[in-house]
Amino acid sequence: MHDAAVAGEVPPARPRPVIGASWTRMRSRGIDPERGRTGRPLRADELVERRRESGLSEVLPLLRGKLAGVAEQTANIMVITDADGHLLWRDGSTAVRRNADALGFVEGMSWGEDVVGTNAIGTALVTGLPIQVYSAEHYVRTHHAWTCASAPVHDPRTGRLLGAVDLSGPAATVSPTTLALVETVAQLAESQLRTAHLEALEALRGSAVPLLSRVTGPAVVTDSHGWVAASTGIAPVNHVALPAACGAGRSWLPALGDCAVEPVPGGWLVRLIDDDPASALDERTAVRLDLRCSQARIEVASASGGWDHPLTPRHAELLFLLAAHPGGRTAAQLAADVFGDELRTVTVRAEMSRLRRNLGGLLARRPYRFSQNVEVEVLRPDDPGSLLPHSIAPAVRGG
């Protein structure tokens, strides 16, 4: 069947529909059935960044605990990829890993259909369904000695595809139970992510209730994905559809109508605006970066009240740099500012990710900057001391 399919002939029998559909995609995209396409492996810093942004690192212990031992015992390897098919982590049999190395099946490489043709990882990511691919069902002949079973993992908050979990090994190790195992473990990972989301929402609820007590009129507090932690003055609702690039200011939201959106720690305060022109006042948020004490703080004031948050020296340093550059700074520019080395972007992105989790919609990215409608004031010490981060002190001394 494979020989006929790659030659464009009528096969003697039909492959499984999911395999036949994938082979048709491969022919239409000109994938070489002998070698596939040459992919570029990720650089070390790119691999670290993709691991961090994948959303799968928090379920990595679960995935390894459930599958790495099985992979070792059954002469397989366990692989976790991101949504683009790049291999993020790989564990299991040493001998099989050596064989995988020869095939280019290594961390940092893409195993998407557009690169290596029909395979469990790439095809599961395309279809969004678990799949097992055996021997000559792979489109590229160099993969015919392998069998693999893969299941996609989705973010329960958004439904977004995060990546896939996979067991791969020599074709002789094929088992009908492998796919069921991989699919079950993927479901366990999604369940753990769902539990973590509910715990975070409950923590947000603790700060949302007192915040809403100071608000006049209908309002809700949501996390960054629009899940509602608490509400006042409106019928109970679980989720609010926020814009893809949500920011502080006035916005029209489905089911709620005209609203004023303000950043709060861990999410957004959404206040309904009525038809009274007086309720459509300027929705700007005032931010004060206080560097006058050894414990720097950020203070936020908006139409519905205020809050503050302590800052580590590194976070104070980064926020000062963003305040000094309203147009924004790239990760490379911030790395050069802070470390004198523009290549240290991984560290900068990690710190900025922590800042954005704490400060909600106050910060935007690409480039990193304070969001639109945020006014920033920096309170500087009269006598900058050694407790100030090194990149802040010269600027403060220089006024």
pLDDT digits over 31-75, tens only? Answer: 999 989 988 899 998 999 999 999 999 999 999 999 999 999 999
Residue with tokens 């509400």: 231
Same domain flag for 12 and 124: yes
Q: What is the pLDDT of residue 304?
A: 58
* Structural domain contains residue 36: yes
Q: Which region among 81-85, 125-129, 229-233, 271-275 has the lowest average model confidence (pLDDT)?
A: 271-275
Rounded to an integer, what distance in angstroms lies between the CA atom of residue 212 and that of residue 198?
Answer: 20
* Structural domain contains residue 200: no
* Structural domain contains residue 191: yes
Banded model confidence at residue 249, pLDDT cuts 50, 70, 90:
confident
* Structural domain contains residue 319: yes
Same domain flag for 297 and 258: no
For 92-131, give one letter per residue: b (16+ CB within 10 A) or e: bbeebeebbeeebbebbbbbbbbbbbbbbbbbbbbeeebb
Same domain flag for 133 and 239: no
Same domain flag for 62 and 133: yes
CATH of the domain at 93: 3.30.450.40
Contact 369, 329 (CB under 8 A): yes
What pLDDT digit, counting tens, does each position of 313-332 carry?
899 999 999 999 999 999 99
Rounded to an integer, what distance in angstroms lies between the CA atom of residue 299 and that of residue 278?
Answer: 26
- Is residue 387 predicted with pLDDT exceeding 60? no
As for how many domains the chain has, the answer is 3
Same domain flag for 81 and 144: yes
Mean pLDDT for all residues in the chain = 87
Same domain flag for 91 and 230: no
List C-alpha distances in Å: 127 to 78, 135, 219, 295: 20, 20, 39, 51
Of how many residues is the chain composed?
Answer: 399
Residue 224 domain boundaries: 215-272
Q: DSSP states of 77-129 as a string?
A: EEEEEETT-BEEEEEE-HHHHHHHHHHT--TT-B-SHHHH-S-HHHHHHHHSS
Contacts with 91 (C-beta within 8 Å, 6 or more apart), sequence order: 64, 67, 68, 71, 72, 77, 78
Same domain flag for 77 and 45: yes
- E-assigned strand segments in the chain: 77-82, 87-92, 131-134, 146-154, 161-170, 219-223, 228-232, 249-253, 257-264, 267-272, 285-290, 297-302, 305-310, 363-364, 369-370, 374-379
Same domain flag for 181 and 311: no
Q: What is the pLDDT of residue 303?
A: 63
Q: Which region among 164-173, 295-304, 317-326, 333-342 has the lowest average model confidence (pLDDT)?
A: 295-304
* Structural domain contains residue 201: no
Q: DSSP states of 346-380 as a string?
A: HHHHHHHHHHHHHHGGGEETTTBEEPTTEEEEEE-
Select from 52, 44, 25, 198 the least CA-distant residue to 112.
25
Same domain flag for 385 and 335: yes
Same domain flag for 177 and 265: no
Degrees, nearest 5: CA angle 274-276-280: 80
Q: What is the pLDDT of residue 381?
A: 79
Beta bridge partners of 289: 298, 378
* Structural domain contains residue 20: yes
Same domain flag for 172 and 292: no
Same domain flag for 19 and 147: yes
